[in-house]
Structure 1
Amino acid sequence: MVPVSDPPRSRVHAAVREHGEAAVVGWCTELLRGSGPHGVPREGALVLGGRHGVALLADPGGDHAWWWQVWGARGLLHAWHPDAVGPVLAALDHQQWRVREGALRVVARRRLDHDLQRVADRQDDPVARVRAAAGRALARIEAADRQPATAGSSVSSSHARTGQSSAASADRGSPSNART
């Protein structure tokens, strides 16, 4: 079990080593879709929610279920599969601004250019942090599109659209990365 007090990146990476990237991405997308902590194994909820998740599991009442969606998006910053694109894009329209911001952070990190108009529309969001995240996402995608793919680059333009590094796609066929 990953200590809930570890930073999110460390928790997610440890969970990937223990359970595989497909499982962790599955937890993230389930949370991002709004399934809440009961839609994933308890360990998945604790990995993604950390010590704050422990508190929410202990007190399931209240109007804070959207935090699980924020934590699902945050997990996708550190574990990825292209199947997560749909839930990420859907989260851009969530009523809670932190979920929209989290989804935009994933769009930026993974350089997802699947629905640029939807991302651009977030530049008119009523919340400044969401507008800023949309601007960063668009700038990062635009920069990736301008950057020529070279033999030594870590992300080619074709991998930028799926959010995969070249190394990740090369490893796709290995048993440790098999989808479960």
Structure 2
Amino acid sequence: MSELPLPRDLGAPVGELVVELAGHLGIRATVDLCVGLLSGADRNAYPDAMPYLTGVVFDEESPIFYPAQWKDYWVRTWGARGLLYVWDDSASPAVVAGLDDEHWRPAEMCLKVSTKREIGEAGPGAAKLAVDGELPRVRVQALRTIGAVGDTEHVEVVTGLLDDPEPAVRRQAARSLTRLARRLGLDVSLD
């Protein structure tokens, strides 16, 4: 990667920074960079790009640079997050694979990308996270994804979560069921 200038405004929202990065590298190269990071690429290989994906300047002399400070799951999360702002369909397989990440943060971000980019192949992974996700926020995002891209086989998963102990999960299950029914032309009752 060629040497990049620092972002014009490190305090800008990440979405603006990622778009600025794409202005330097091109959309496809930026997508490929994000996919690489999501897939486990070494952050040290991209020191000039990291400020655009994080809003933080990574300097080898700074303790913020070291993995003990920013664990590897953050790098995968940042890669996925970049795909909210730049996109190419070639990124879909990496996003779907990211739903199985061992840490909840990259998986949740991949759910968000799957929802925004309407990645149909994310349905099974989202259904698994809707049921098995330890955190309510992950289950809620998984239900959003199912509402956006799920199919008829996911209706049972969503209806099963209408009685979840967490109110936010129950509310999202009802919204996702309504959205699924509308999208798929199903006659589904919330009773």
Q: Which has the higher contact order (CA 8 A, sep 6+)?
A: 1
Please name the residue that 2:172 is paired with.
none
CA RMSD of aligned residues (A): 2.5
1:77 aligns with 2:77: no
- Find the residue that maps to 1:42 and give its secondary structure: coil
1:27 aligns with 2:33: yes
State the Cα deviation string for residues 112-161 of structure 1 (Å, max 9, x = none): 001411211110111111111100111122559828xxxxxxxxxxxxxx
- Find the residue that maps to 2:58 and give its secondary structure: helix
Q: Which has the larger radius of gyration?
A: 2
TM-score using structure 2 length: 0.68
Alignment of 1:85-124 (within 5 A): 85-124=92-131
State the Cα deviation string for residues 46-83 of structure 1 (Å, max 9, x = none): 211222x6379833141612111111111000001111
Please name the residue that 1:5 is paired with.
11
- Find the residue that maps to 1:54 and give its secondary structure: coil
In structure 1, what is the Cα distance between the partners aligned to 2:72 and 2:183? 39
Q: 1:57 to 1:137 in 2, by over 3 A?
A: farther
Alignment of 1:96-175 (within 5 A): 96-124=103-131, 125-141=133-149, 143=179, 146=183
Question: Retained in 1: the 8 A contact 2:122–2:149?
Answer: no
Question: Retained in 2: the 8 A contact 1:9–1:78?
Answer: yes
Unaligned runs of 5+ residues in structure 2 are 151-178, 185-191
Q: 1:119 to 1:69 in 2, by over 3 A?
A: same
After TM superposition, where is structure 1 displaced by more than 4 Å over at least 4 residues in a row?
A: 142-145
Q: Pick from 48, 53, 60: which aligns with 1:48?
A: 53
Farther off after superposition, 55-64 or 4-13: 55-64
In structure 1, what is the Cα distance between the partners aligned to 2:37 and 2:101? 13
In structure 2, what is the Cα distance between the partners aligned to 1:75 and 1:106? 9
Q: How many residues align?
A: 146
Question: Retained in 2: the 8 A contact 1:36–1:69?
Answer: no
Percent of aligned pairs sharing the same letter: 26
Please name the residue that 1:166 is paired with.
none
- Find the residue that maps to 2:18 and give its secondary structure: helix
Q: Pick from 60, 69, 72: which aligns with 1:65?
A: 72
Q: 1:42 to 1:54 in 2, by over 3 A?
A: closer
- Find the residue that maps to 2:48 and give its secondary structure: helix
- 2:142 is aligned with what amino acid? A
Question: Retained in 2: the 8 A contact 1:31–1:37?
Answer: yes
- Find the residue that maps to 2:140 and give its secondary structure: helix
Structure 1 residue 101 displacement after superposition: 0.5
Unaligned runs of 5+ residues in structure 1 are 148-180
